[in-house]
Structure 1
Amino acid sequence: MSELLPPRLATDLFGDPIESQPLWFKASSFHSPDFDPESYIADLRSFVPLESLAAELRAHLSALKAELVDLINRDYADFVSLSTRLVDVDSAVARMRDPLAEFRDKVAAFRTVVDSSLSNLRSGLRQRAEASAAREILELLLDTFHVVSKVEKLIKELPTTASDLSSADIASIEKSSPNSGNSLQHIESGANLRETQSILLERIASEMNRLKFYMTHAKNLPFIENMEKRIQNAISLLDDSLGHCFVDSLEHRDANAIYNCLRAYAAIDNTSAAEEHFRTIIVSPLIHKIIPHSHSPVVGSSDGLQEDYWQIMQCIEKDCKFILEISASANSGLHVFDFLANSILKEVLFAIQKGKPGAFSPGRPTEFLQNYKSSLGFLAFLEGYCPSRSAVAKFRSEAVYVDFMKQWNVGVYFSLRFQEIAGALDSALMVTTITPAENLHGNQGKYQKLALKQSVALLESLRSCWSDDVLVFSFSDKFLRLSLQLISRYSTWLSSGLAARKARGANSNSTPNSEWAISVHVEDFVYVMHDISFLVGELSGHYLGHVLQLLESCSAEVLDLVKQSILQAGKALENLLPIVMDTMIEAIVEKSIEDLRQLKGITATYRMTNKLPVRHSPYVSGILRPLKAFLDGEHVAYLTHNARNELLHGATIRITSRYYELASDLVNVARKTESSLLRLRQGAQRRVGASSDALDNNISDTEKICMQLFLDIQEYGRNLAAIGIKAADIPAYRSLWQCVAPEDKQTQIVF
């Protein structure tokens, strides 16, 4: 049992194995596939001496060798038995080599045979493919030759009269045309030569389509190049014959022949020729009668298009509807034709450009807009003949449609309207004084709810932006922006004027277009305030509803943005109402202060005299005279009840405040002056030894001034009550009462 235990390792004094390795030495690193000795040594030498590293490596090498010896000693019996069994190995190898060599020779011979057979097979397949390709080309050339010959023969055999038809032709037509059952009855009776020609031409066109297919796959071949002249002649003959038959069918309104000719044009992919024939034969004479385009313009002729479009629509309904219905028939394959754009609209555009070029000119905005809207209505009429939405989209994508729309320079039209509308408002605002509207005091006129011409000009400009004779729906965003700019221009005109009036004392240099506010009478601000209120109500009411109704086809998000923008513009205008009210109040107060300044004479009246006040001063009756005159004027009828009360209370509060300031200053100065004089007198009396009892019994100048002011403010309170203001409710009046009233009357305000 003891032999199975591993040998004990030698230990040092502390019980650690002597062969134990340091922590920095990792033997497992040598087994890594990307182990690099140089990098390993470079990493360790920074903190381990090379001598220590070499010693550890030698110790590890010794350990490995010892382990190898142990392994050999452990399996030594197996190594020895293996060597004893390897006897006569060379002879065994020689016996095995001969069969393998023989097998290798057989495989090589078989490989040679297989390679030869594979090469022969590939050569045969290549020859077969070349022969097949040559055969296909030959068949293609033969088919091309046969088709060319057949087309030439059919073209030459086209009948010009009913007697030219033979039974063979009839049989050939019956085989080639799936819808020829009914037509053959006409052919046999000789009653419909055009339909017969159209059927044959449709058959020739189908053969020609085959010919184009063959030519596409056999191009650059000498045989095809030699036949190029014959092919081009055949194409030319087919185009001429088909054109004559189609024109003849159009002139006689032969629906069956037209149908067959259109199918022939579609087969050879030459729709433009059919559309051009229809334009020149049918459409052009009709349009020329309505819009003649001679070289010399007709004197006195109008460029209006509304009546012309009405006549053109009547002609289309009468003379063009038949081919539109044929080309739109179901499962006919004729949807490739666009007679609406390339025949009708193209000719209409040409006629307008030649006969009425002024119709496209935006220089006459009113006539231009009428023509533009009439043109949109005409296009909508044409789109009514489109059988589906995809047909409408195809019609709008046609080059003629795009060119037609480019003729209408709506951008220039809007610029002219912008100058016209904005210029009218700007001219109304470029004045030095505001102007009352016509028939201001009557009930005549278009916008009699507005009091000033400038406001009337704004409302007319705003309504012009969205009137039927100005608005272009595709430019609604620009007209909305113009409307907001007009409101902003009017608001700026008002705000700059009000600011200039307020700052006129401090700065004599006024801004442009602000002189009106400096020189205007205070009564005229009533009209300004009334017009602002009316415009704000109009913007948030009827005007907003009208704009939203015009834009009802837009999305809810767009309508909400339009609504918010107009309401915001109205809010900016509404914010001027308090400023206008303040301006009116300030103007009234300034006039009242002119009378208030007379109270300074009270000091001179009662100083150094024995006179006592017995009645109120004359100036008191004039303090509220400007306010009363303002309220009694005719212009006050334009103020609302709330605005009138606001003005009344605001003016009386400010007047009373100024009254208190002047009166308190007067009393304070009088008291200071009296105090100084009293000190001087007392000093003089002390020097001469006189008594001051006489002075003490007299009423002072300050008391007399206060008595007079008390009488004045009582009268002022009665005047306030006469206009409906309770004086005790005004803080400045209560302060004034406390300043000048006797001590026994300060607790209660009684007049």
Structure 2
Amino acid sequence: MADRKASTSSIPARNDPFELDRLAEELATREGLHPSHGHSSSTSQDLPELLPLSHDNLYLSAPEFNVEEFLLSRSYTSLPDLRAELRDYLATLKEELVKLINDDYEAFISLSTDLRGEGARMERIGWPLGDLRAQIVHSREQLQSVKDAVQDKLDRRAELREEKALLQLLLKISDSISRLESMLLITNPADSAGPSDIQPLELIARHQSESESTDERTKMSRAKHLLRTASEFNQLLYNSEKAASEGCAFVKESQWKIDRIKSTLSSDIEHLFASTLSSLVSTSKADMKPDVERRKLLADINDCLRAYDMLGLWRDAEDVIRREVVRDFVRKTVFPGCLAAPLSPMVPPTPFTNTSSYVNQQNPRTPYTPYTAFQSKTNPFFTSTIVNSNSIYLLDDYDNALAALYNTILRFIDREVKPIMEAAEHVSGGVKSRRPSPLAPVVKNSAIASGSLILEGVDVKSEDGFDILSNVVWAEVAQGIMDDLGSSVFAVGRPEEFRKNYETTQAFLRSLEYLAPSLQAVNDMRHHSVYETFERRWQLPVYFQLQWKDIVTKVEDALESRSLSASISKGNSEVSNEVVFVMAPSLAVWKAINRCWSAEVFIPDLAHRFWRLTLQLLKRYRVWFDSSLPPFEIASPVVDKSPNTPSATPRMGTPSTSSQDQTDRKSVTDEDILLSQFSIVMQDIVSMRTNVMNLWSQEISVLLPYTEDEDGNADACESVLKSALSSLTDILPVARSQVEIILSRRCCDALAPVKSLPGQFRAASQKHMPSKPSAFVPLILRPVKVFFGIDTKNPSTKTMRDEFCVPVSSSVVDEVAARYANYLSAMRKNQESLRRLRMGKRSGFSLFGSSNSANDDDDREEERIRKQLVLDIEAFGKDAESLGVNLSASAAYKTLNYLAHANVNDIDAVSS
């Protein structure tokens, strides 16, 4: 009942159609006037209250009072009211100020009362301070006087100590001068004596040095004596510089003696060093010294070098070595006619049987040795075999006068100069790092592979210490070659001889570097001014221009012919080991690319130029193809939807069968020419790509420096080469499509007997069931086999078969299967029409399926035709599989096979 009442109450009354009562109640509820809220209408919105002015007001307590902000905060107050408020606040402030003064006044008055009498007490306290200050000042003065006296004594003692040390230093200098003069047998003239106060010291020192030097000369050799003299003189120079910094007059007066000692000492060392070198260097085998005497001479040379190193006369020692050892040899060995002079008779090298086999195994040639135009069992750039105990690497001087000259120089340096360089390196070992001997073969073998030594962690050219390899050996040899043999060695007008001389010289430099006593010596030689001048004499850009002209001229002459015909015999021996070419222009381009990186032309310093020329040749080859290829036949896309098939798929490039296409079709001769041209183009492009990539992997990738592209990927050069080859191989898809069009057209023409197959069975006298395929079936794909030379197994078309046989055959089989299916569909329609015309009614018999026809002869005839078609299609499939075609992936062949095996009812059901 309550629910019913509630529901009835919710229904508006009939006498209040606008529901005014309900709206009034909702309005009262919204405005808070409903009695259930329990409060009156006086509870409205709160109005803003204006607080009176006080110390807490933000605007009054701000560091800087802003009138505008203050007035805006009191914008609801009129100006008279605001003035009244300010006056009230001012009165409040005055009251607070008076109250504050009254509160603190009592404390201020009591403060003055409490401090009464404190002044006298403070004076009594401060009276003793004056006496204390006076006593402290007096004590400080006494202590300072004592301190000054002690400091004066200490300073005096230090001065005396310094004077004593200086006097002792002067005594040492005087004693050293006297000792050195006695050791060098220098006599002093009577009028050159120094001051009288120093003369007794000199006499005492001279007497002592003479007694000591007489005993020492009997115990040591002349070299040891000079070494000790140099050590003494070095100490004298140190003491003289130290005394000169003090401004001693004794040093200035004795400077002429020091200079005389220095000149005498250097002269004696030079004379001994030169005589020892002359005794050590042997001009012939008869003059060679015994090992004992040779070791003694080397010990004397070592002492002389140590003396030179102590005196800092490194360049003087190098001048002596140059004058006494190297210069005479260079003048006798390197002269204008030395390359044309007959070589000295030598015992011919014993032929080794493994040498020839080693050479024959180099196929293809190894490009890791750019400075080796010659082979030998003694050549370090082909084998790491050490020829002798001195690890000297000789060049193959067979039929190479320059190599024989370099070998003579290397033998001389190894025999005569290398011991001196090693001794000098041992003496100045603190300046240059010495290469460890156990790692020497490893360093050399790695250097052989790269063509030069890797100088990691080696300092720049040093100015101190001996540098015999650069300043003596290389300076004399290089200057002699440039002055006397420059016109023949650096003759760039004869490129082959120039390249041979360049590689021979580079091999000589590597062998010379292996004789260096340290890596620092090699670094110094490479940074020597004569080395840089010697390298500039090789006019490598001119050599490249000559080779470029020769290569490009031959290529352009070959590319003048626009004929795409076979012009190279099959038995061409020049490319017997490579993938063969068919056209002479292709062979010319390949020979040009191969020549750029051959050992007879390539120079490592010109690698970037030959790399650019290789890319230009590939680009020129592509341009030649663009201007030589015949016009392409454009095949319009045809959508072939065969009726009565389970599926209909679109096909691209189906040759047209219309009457206009038949009239416009080219003759068989023209098609044969086009097939031959496209076959040649495809074979040469594939051969070029294969050969260039083989050349890259075997030679170019090793000869070019390591590079990275912008993204940081390695083998940037390989990506560039592949890009250049891709622009060339872009012709292959177009050429293949042209071949597919022609071959598809010819294969489809072989399907013509299919149309007359029912008439042949009707006209045949014997009505037996067929057991073998028709004679035209092997002729369907015969054009493909002839094109790829499958039956003849022609080796010249092997590249074509491997690359294009399967894709071309697959495309042709799809075209032929689609055309075959069209013929079968047309045959079925014609047969059905003929049967209807003959019987006058729809017959249930089908060409491809069994029916309930009353005529048994027609039934058997249809079955024979169907059996023949199945045999033909199976034979066609086997023929296609022999070409490598995957029939399971061919939709056209599946449709054809379905049409051959399916019944007519199934085909009609699918078609409907």
- In the TM superposition, 1:204-219 aligns within 5 A as 204-208=233-237, 210-211=239-240, 217=245
Give the letter for the 1:464 counterpart: R
Are 2:323 and 1:283 aligned?
Answer: no
Shift of 1:278: 0.7
1:450-469, Cα deviation, whole Å (9 max, x unpaired): 23422222332333333333
- In the TM superposition, 1:286-301 aligns within 5 A as 286-293=329-336
Match of 1:639 among 800, 816, 822: 800
Shift of 1:439: 2.5
Aligned mates of 1:61, 1:491 — CA distance in 2: 105
* CA RMSD between the two structures: 6.5
Q: 1:193 to 1:115 in 2, by over 3 A?
A: closer
Give the letter for the 2:559 counterpart: L
Aligned to 2:661: none
Aligned to 1:240: 267
Aligned to 2:201: none
Q: 1:196 to 1:235 in 2, by over 3 A?
A: closer
Give the letter for the 2:421 counterpart: L
Contact map agreement 1:198 1:257 (CA 8 A) in 2: no
Q: 1:640 to 1:196 in 2, by over 3 A?
A: same
Aligned to 1:270: 313
- In the TM superposition, 1:420-459 aligns within 5 A as 420-434=550-564, 436-440=566-570, 446=576, 449-452=579-582, 453-459=584-590
Aligned to 1:316: 413
Are 2:598 and 1:467 aligned?
Answer: yes
Shift of 1:290: 2.2
Q: 1:381 to 1:57 in 2, by over 3 A?
A: farther
Give the letter for the 1:291 counterpart: V
Match of 1:369 among 489, 493, 499: 499
Aligned to 1:575: 730
Aligned to 1:83: 112
Contact map agreement 2:335 2:484 (CA 8 A) in 1: yes
Contact map agreement 1:365 1:416 (CA 8 A) in 2: yes
Match of 1:530 among 683, 697, 702: 683
1:578-634, Cα deviation, whole Å (9 max, x unpaired): 1222345567899999x9xxxxxxxxxxxxxxxxxxxxxxxxxxx999999978999
1:262-309, Cα deviation, whole Å (9 max, x unpaired): 112112222111112112211122222221258x99799999632222
Shift of 1:325: 2.8
Give the letter for the 1:356 counterpart: L
Aligned to 2:471: 342
Aligned mates of 1:399, 1:124 — CA distance in 2: 62
Contact map agreement 1:148 1:211 (CA 8 A) in 2: no
1:31-61, Cα deviation, whole Å (9 max, x unpaired): xxxxx45xx4466567668979988777666
Aligned mates of 2:509, 2:718 — CA distance in 1: 32
Contact map agreement 2:330 2:476 (CA 8 A) in 1: yes
Give the letter for the 1:574 counterpart: T
Aligned mates of 1:17, 1:658 — CA distance in 2: 104
Contact map agreement 1:437 1:456 (CA 8 A) in 2: no
Give the letter for the 1:527 counterpart: I
Match of 1:353 among 469, 476, 482: 482
Aligned mates of 2:554, 2:743 — CA distance in 1: 34
Aligned to 2:752: none
Are 2:62 and 1:29 aligned?
Answer: yes
1:686-738, Cα deviation, whole Å (9 max, x unpaired): xxxxxxxxxxxxxxxxxxxxxxxxxxxx9xx99x9899789x99989x99xxx
Contact map agreement 2:240 2:251 (CA 8 A) in 1: no
Give the letter for the 2:62 counterpart: S
Choose between structure 1 and 2 for higher RCO, CA contacts under 8 A separated by at least 6 residues.
2
Match of 1:260 among 303, 306, 310: 303
Aligned to 1:693: none
Aligned to 1:33: none
Aligned to 1:680: none
Aligned mates of 2:82, 2:466 — CA distance in 1: 95
Give the letter for the 2:603 counterpart: V
Shift of 1:529: 1.0
- In the TM superposition, 1:29-108 aligns within 5 A as 29-30=62-63, 36=64, 40-41=66-67, 44=70, 63-71=92-100, 73-74=102-103, 78-96=107-125, 98-100=127-129, 102=130, 106=134
Aligned to 1:305: 402
Shift of 1:153: 2.1
1:410-449, Cα deviation, whole Å (9 max, x unpaired): 4554555445445543443343335645424666755674
Shift of 1:649: 7.0
Give the letter for the 2:502 counterpart: Y
Give the letter for the 1:580 counterpart: A
Contact map agreement 2:490 2:537 (CA 8 A) in 1: yes
Q: 1:269 to 1:568 in 2, by over 3 A?
A: same
Give the letter for the 1:153 counterpart: E
- In the TM superposition, 1:124-135 aligns within 5 A as 135=163
Q: 1:70 to 1:214 in 2, by over 3 A?
A: same
Aligned to 1:489: 620
Shift of 1:560: 4.2
Contact map agreement 1:148 1:234 (CA 8 A) in 2: no
Aligned length: 626
1:637-681, Cα deviation, whole Å (9 max, x unpaired): 773166356557767988999999xxxxxxxxxxxxxxxxxxxxx
Contact map agreement 2:499 2:600 (CA 8 A) in 1: yes
Percentage of identical aligned residues: 22
Contact map agreement 2:682 2:735 (CA 8 A) in 1: yes
Are 2:157 and 1:157 aligned?
Answer: no
Q: 1:488 to 1:553 in 2, by over 3 A?
A: closer
Contact map agreement 2:183 2:210 (CA 8 A) in 1: no
- In the TM superposition, 1:513-592 aligns within 5 A as 522-541=675-694, 543-548=696-701, 560-584=715-739
Aligned to 2:660: none
Contact map agreement 2:277 2:301 (CA 8 A) in 1: yes
Give the letter for the 1:29 counterpart: A
Contact map agreement 1:591 1:626 (CA 8 A) in 2: yes
Aligned mates of 1:118, 1:46 — CA distance in 2: 81
Aligned mates of 2:269, 2:684 — CA distance in 1: 75
Aligned mates of 1:488, 1:277 — CA distance in 2: 60
Shift of 1:146: 3.4
Contact map agreement 1:588 1:651 (CA 8 A) in 2: yes
Aligned mates of 1:85, 1:248 — CA distance in 2: 113
Aligned to 2:278: 251
1:311-368, Cα deviation, whole Å (9 max, x unpaired): 1111112111221232233787585212122211111111111121142454444333
Aligned mates of 1:250, 1:170 — CA distance in 2: 35
Match of 1:329 among 417, 422, 426: 426
Please state whether the residue corresponding to 1:523 is helix, strand or coil. helix
Structure 1: 5+ residue stretches without partners: 1-13, 31-35, 160-167, 504-519, 596-622, 661-713, 736-745
Farther-moved stretch of structure 1 (573-582 vs 554-563): 554-563
Contact map agreement 1:202 1:263 (CA 8 A) in 2: no
Contact map agreement 1:218 1:224 (CA 8 A) in 2: no
Aligned mates of 1:113, 1:411 — CA distance in 2: 90
- Tell me which protein shows more helix as a share of its residues: 1
